[in-house]
Amino acid sequence: MKDFYHFLKQNTRNVSFGWVMTFLSSFGQTFLISLYVPEIIKSFSLSEGSFGGIYALCTMTSSVIMLTVGHTIDHKPVKKVTALTITGAAVSCFILGVSQNHIPLLFLALIGLRLTGQGLMTHISMTVMSRYYTADRGKALSVSALGFSVGEAIFPIIISTLILWYDYEIAALVSGGILLLYLIRLKFIKLSHFDVTLDDHKPSTLSLIKDYKNLIGEKKFLIMMPASISVAFVSTSIFFYQYVFVEHKGWSVSLYASFFTAYAITRFAMSILGGYWVDKFTARKMFRIYLLPMTLGMLPLAFMNSILGALIFLILAGCSVGMSGAVTTAVIAEIYGVRKIGAIRSLFTMFMVLSTALGPFLVGLMIDAKVEFSRIILSMFAIMLFSLINVQRIKKVP
C-alpha cells in the first residue's frame, strides 16, 4: 500500500477533481432522492406506486439522454462539460424546490437530477480519471469512487435535517445553492491538463448510432454488460425496499440500520483495495471475481431467519459495490482503449441507469404479487450468478 500513499501524495489535486464529482453526484442518486419521497407524495397527493412509476420513467428518460450527450467528454474541454453539468444539476434542484404540485416540473426536476447526478457527474469522474492515468488507473478510480461513500455519509444527514426543520422545498433549494458554490469554485480550478488526450473529432449522430450498434453486437459487450450492471441492478432493488424486507422478516429496524456502518466501512475499504488490485492484477482479472462476494451474500439474506443474515449480506455487498467503481471503468479502458472512452462508457452508463429504474419496478411488482421474500432474493441471486459465470469468458477476449 506504500505505492497507493505515494500516488495520492503526488496526485492529490488531480484525483480530488474526480472525488468531488462523485461526491456531488449524490444529489441525483436514489439514496438521497428517496429522502424527499414521503413529502413529495404528500404534496402532490400521489400513491407510492404512482411516484415509483414517475421515478422509473424519469430515470429511463435520463438514461436515453445520457447516451446522446455522454460522448461530449471525448471532444469538449473537461471544464466546460463539468460546468454545464453542475449548472444543470443546480437548476434541477431549484425546479424541484419550486415545483409545488406541478407534475411537469416534478418530471423535469427528476430527469435533470438523474441525468446530471447519477449519470453525467459519475461519467465525467470515471472517464477523465481512466483516460488521464494508465499505470495508476486503478488507484485514481478508487480514490474518485470514495466520493460516493462520503456523500452517502454526509448528505442524508444534511438533507433529512433540512426537511425535518423546514420542508423538502428548502432542502432542494439549499442543494442547488451548494452546487452553485462549487460552480464558482470551478472557475478557479485548472483542468486544461485533462484535455491533452481529447479526440478533436466530434462524431456525427449517424456515426454514433453506427458505433453503438457495432458495440452492442460484439461478443465482448455481451460478456461485459451483465457483469457491469448487475451490482447496480440488485443493490438498488434491495436497498429501495430494504425496510419492507426487514419488516417482512420481523427484524429490528434500528438494529438493521446500525448494520449499515459495517456496509459503509467495507465499501470504503474495498474502494481503495479494488483500485490497488486493478493496478497489481489488471482490471480484467478483477472483473472476473468482483461479483462473487455479493452473489454469495444473497444466500444468507434469503435463507437465514436471524438478522445476522442481513449483516453478512451488507458486508459482502459492500465488497462488490466498493470494488465496482474502479473495476468496471478500468476494464472498459483496458479492452476498448481510451480514445472514445466517453462514448463507450456512456453506453454502459445508460444500461446501468436503466437497470436502476427497472430493478425497483420489477421487485415492486413481485411484492404486489405477494411473491415470497426468499424467492425475490433468489431471483436476483440467479441474475448475479449468471453474470458471474458469463463474465469468466472475458479471459478469451483479445
pLDDT tens digit sequence for 331-350? 988 888 877 788 888 888 88
pLDDT, position 34:
80
Indicate the pLDDT class of residue 82, thresholds 50, 70 and 90. very high
The DSSP letter of residue 71 is: T
pLDDT, position 287:
93
pLDDT in tens, 19-76: 999 999 999 988 888 888 888 888 888 877 778 788 889 988 998 898 888 888 888 8
pLDDT above 90 covers a percentage of the chain that reads 37
CA angle 9, 14, 15 (to 5 degrees): 75
Residue 209 has pLDDT above 80, yes or no: no
The mean-pLDDT minimum among 90-99, 105-114, 196-205 falls in 196-205
> What structural domains does the chain harbor?
11-191+205-396 (1.20.1250.20)
CA Rg value for the chain: 20
The residue ranking higher by pLDDT, 173 or 199, is 173
CA angle 168, 174, 175 (to 5 degrees): 90
CA angle 260, 264, 269 (to 5 degrees): 150
Mean pLDDT of 100-124: 92
Highest mean pLDDT among 58-67, 122-131, 173-182: 173-182
Cell of 330: 478500468
The gap from C-alpha 280 to its chain's centroid, in whole angstroms, comes to: 25
Phi and psi at residue 16, to the nearest 5°: -65, -30
Total-model pTM: 0.86
Work out the mean pLDDT of the chain and round it to a whole number.
87
Cα separations in angstroms, 282 against 121, 287, 327:
25, 9, 9
Cell of 312: 453478512
Label residues 235-253 b or e (16+ Cβ within 10 Å = b): bbbbbbbbeebbeebebee
Cell of 337: 482503449
Residue 3 has pLDDT above 80, yes or no: no
Residue 203 has pLDDT above 70, yes or no: no
- What is residue 232's three-state secondary structure? helix
pLDDT above 70 covers a percentage of the chain that reads 97
Q: Which residues contact 289 (CB under 8 A, 6 or more apart)?
A: none
The residue ranking higher by pLDDT, 271 or 244, is 271
pLDDT, position 337:
82
Mean pLDDT of 109-128: 92
Mean pLDDT of 293-297: 95
Residue 199 has pLDDT above 70, yes or no: no
